[in-house]
Amino acid sequence: MSEPVAIPANVESATAPQAPPGWRRYADVYAALWRNSVTREMGFQVNFFLWLFVELLWFALQLGFNSVIYLHTDSIGSWTKWEVVMLIGASHFVQQLFQALLLVNCAQLSELVHTGRMDFMLLLPVNTRFLVSLRHVDLGGFISAASGLAVVFYAAHRLNVTPSLAQMLSFSLLCGAAILIHYSLMFLMATISFWTVRAQGMVMAYYNLFSIARIPDAAFRGAGRVIFTLAIPMLLVASVPVKVLIDKLSSPAEIILLLTMSAVTFLGSTLVWRRALQRYSSASS
């Protein structure tokens, strides 16, 4: 056993000189990662459909819970039944897209460190964060996300709302910002818990945390509201896109807040990731 070798801090940006980095090259790498993921999923078809079933079951469970609640009330704060259905649909849409593109990879980060495979990732001539964040694609997540979107549209129909093109575009943009928040927070948790918590526990923690996004923001007051808006912006990720669709925004500031928070959380995760890489010493050598 030799002493652990400290990897230089700038290794993240170190790329091989003969291969100039560029959008084109990253697009090629990403396409290759997609092909890999599709091939892998084809090998476990039964598992693929089982996972899809599990996701749909949990989604139905949330909608069922909401129906039970609204048997006993007409509104939660200012939110009516179908508005909350839309909120649950949008939250599912965002969460599943995040799951399709990024979640597995975040969850596997600690395993990469434990098994020493992180060394290998660091040596590859692409940005390490790009690689560890986007390695696997979970195709079932896209189908699940579509079911969330279908519920959003159905709820809009029940609310007699026909969103304009501008509203739909803003909805898409804000969902993108929401995914960035999901990713940044999860990546942050994964980076911090490099050496402590196992992936299983972290994914559980994630689901618990993000269950807040399905609750109407009007239910929260005082400290809870501040924490889940400004520190862990769960009350923004699904509700702001929905409010845009149904003209429920109290002020445009909510949109700015969501966009700002996505930038802030992303920057935060970048800072912590850099620190973690500086302190990283290999597990295997």
Partner 1 sequence: MTTCWHIFNIGLQNTLSYRVNFFARALFNLIPLLAIVAMWRAIYAGKSGDVSGYILAQMISYYLLVTIVESMTSVTEDDWQIAAEIKDGHIGQFLTRPIDYLHYRLCLFFSGRVVYTLAATIPVGLFVYWHREYLVRPHDGVAIAAFILSLALSAVLQFLLSYLIAMLAFWVLEISTFVFILLACERIASGQMFPLDILPSWLAQAVMWTPFPYCIFFPVSIYLGKISGAALVQGLILQVLWVATLYALARLVWRRGLKTYTVVGG
Residues that bind partner 1 in the complex, under the rule CB under 8 A: 44, 47, 50-51, 53-54, 57-58, 61, 64-65, 68-69, 71-77, 196-198, 200-201, 204-205, 208-209, 211-212, 215-216, 218-221, 224
Residue closer to partner 1, measured from CB, 53 or 120:
53
Angle at 52 between CA 117 and CA 134, to 5 degrees: 30
Burial class (CB in 10 A: 0-12, 13-18, 19+), 205: middle
CB distance 282 to 117 below 8 Å: no
User: How remote is the C-alpha of 194 from its chain's centroid?
Assistant: 19
CB distance 81 to 64 below 8 Å: no
- Tell me the closest approach of the beta carbon of residue 219 to partner 1, in angstroms: 4
- Tell me the closest approach of the beta carbon of residue 8 to partner 1, in angstroms: 31
- Tell me the closest approach of the beta carbon of residue 259 to partner 1, in angstroms: 24
- What type of residue sits at position 12? E
- Tell me the closest approach of the beta carbon of residue 124 to partner 1, in angstroms: 29
Residue closer to partner 1, measured from CB, 57 or 166:
57
Q: Which two tokens stand for residue 165?
A: 């093109």
Residue closer to partner 1, measured from CB, 216 or 233:
216
Residue closer to partner 1, measured from CB, 13 or 75:
75
- Tell me the closest approach of the beta carbon of residue 275 to partner 1, in angstroms: 21
Residue closer to partner 1, measured from CB, 17 or 43:
43
Question: Which run of H or E residues covers position 262?
Answer: helix 253-279
- Residue 227: half-sphere exposure toward Cβ, Cα within 13 Å: 7
